[in-house]
Amino acid sequence: LQVDFWQPDSVTLVRPKMQVDFQVEAGKSFEVEDLLKESRVEYRVLIDSLQAVLDTQFDSEAHTAKHSYEKYNNWESIWTGTLLSLNKKLVNGNLYPVKFIVLFKIYIALPQNLSTRMSAVETYGKDTVMTTFLNSLDFYVLPVVNIDGYVSTWTDDCMWRKTGSKNAGSSFIGTDPNRNFNAGWCTIGAPKRPCGSTYCGSAPESEKETKALADFVHKHLSTIKAYLTVHSYSQLLLFPYSYTYKLPADYEELNSIARATSKEWCSLYNTKYTYGSGAKTIFKYWPKYANHLDCDHNYQMQFFAQSRFLVLGRYGFLLPESKIKPTCEETLLAVKYIANYVLEHLD
């Protein structure tokens, strides 16, 4: 009998008295429930039918190809929307998408014909706070790191997390990029077999995606004031370290910022976010993030934001489209608070 672990994402990470979330095939659900009852394990069903949640994830059955920031977009619509925003005259025939990692640098000298449709740019000159940020800071935005994996969630497996690379000597595809960074690489909870969904890869930063991101950070390390990454599933605001219980030298400052940022997050829709250092906050429950980029905690602030994809256990990874806008709105408040702290204290 095999189950698909969501949190933690590997059976090797399960510890006594730990909260565990896992998925079970419909035909095996009664068998699993019987085993839990026999073992006197308390449990509750968070999602009764995963397929039903999948069916309702999109708010409209008529999911058009037109790009929108308030719905889920496949790679083709993102690609087409990007080309159209760059030059409408360019798109008058068939399009053949090419997958590559795109990193945006947001600053006020953006070309007039580049319609980014991002809140930061759209509110420039209207929102005094955002205008100040864009006048004073450069923002680098990497919307999607694992593009091959993102495409696979649309075409093959909606729960796919790995890259699309081939593994030597194995028919299993991909590496979990979240476990591929050179920080506590391939330690606890990271299987060394390519068949695992959290396979750490053949070597640190063996994947082109993680290597590109790590190289960019190293190149700009001297000028980076804050580094934010956004993930899904739970409501957490984390800072280093995740691969060790050791606290960073600036723990008190980071913890204070995280506490205040969590209050900002809560102010709009009363969404509660737990904050703290990665290992001490979630490792005893969900030791999933033990291989982030936090080995290079030389830039002044680093946070991992776990967006609210798990709201009272109703959605798991499958946030309805109706929740996209409010999640982004409250997350922007958190980003603004951190950016303002950078301006006031770290500039």
Over the stretch 304-337, which tens digit does the pLDDT of each residue have?
554 444 343 456 677 888 888 888 888 889 989 9
Average pLDDT over residues 267-271: 88
How many of the other CB atoms lie within 10 Å of CB of 219?
A: 10
Most trustworthy range by pLDDT among 92-106, 163-177, 279-293: 163-177
Integer Cα distance of 64 and 244 in angstroms: 45
Number of residues that make up the chain: 347
- Please choose, from the candidates 220, 216, 293, 294, the residue with its C-alpha nearest in 3D space to the C-alpha of residue 251: 294
**Is the bond into 227 cis (omega within 30 degrees of 0)?**
no
Sketch the domain layout of the chain as residue ranges. Answer: 4-45, 141-346
Structure tokens, 179: 């476990």
Q: Residue 241 burial by CB count (10 A; 0-12/13-18/19+): exposed, middle or buried?
A: buried
Alpha helix positions (H), 193-250: 208-219
Q: Which CATH superfamily is 141-346 part of?
A: Zn peptidases (3.40.630.10)
Angle between helices 324-341 and 251-269 (to 10 degrees): 140
Read off the pLDDT of residues 75-89 as tens digits, 9 standing for 90 and up: 777 766 655 555 555
The 10s digit of each residue's pLDDT in 89-138 is: 544 444 444 455 555 555 443 333 333 345 566 776 677 888 888 889 88
Query: Binning pLDDT at 50, 70 and 90, where does residue 241 land?
Result: confident
Position 220 pLDDT exceeds 50 = yes
Measure the CA–CA gap between 252 and 31, rounded to whole angstroms. Answer: 48
Three-state DSSP class for residue 38: helix
CB of 199 within 8 A of CB of 275?
A: no
Model confidence, pTM: 0.73
Report percent pLDDT > 70 for the chain: 72
Whether 187 shows a pLDDT value over 80: the answer reads: no
Q: Which residue has the higher pLDDT, 188 or 135?
A: 135
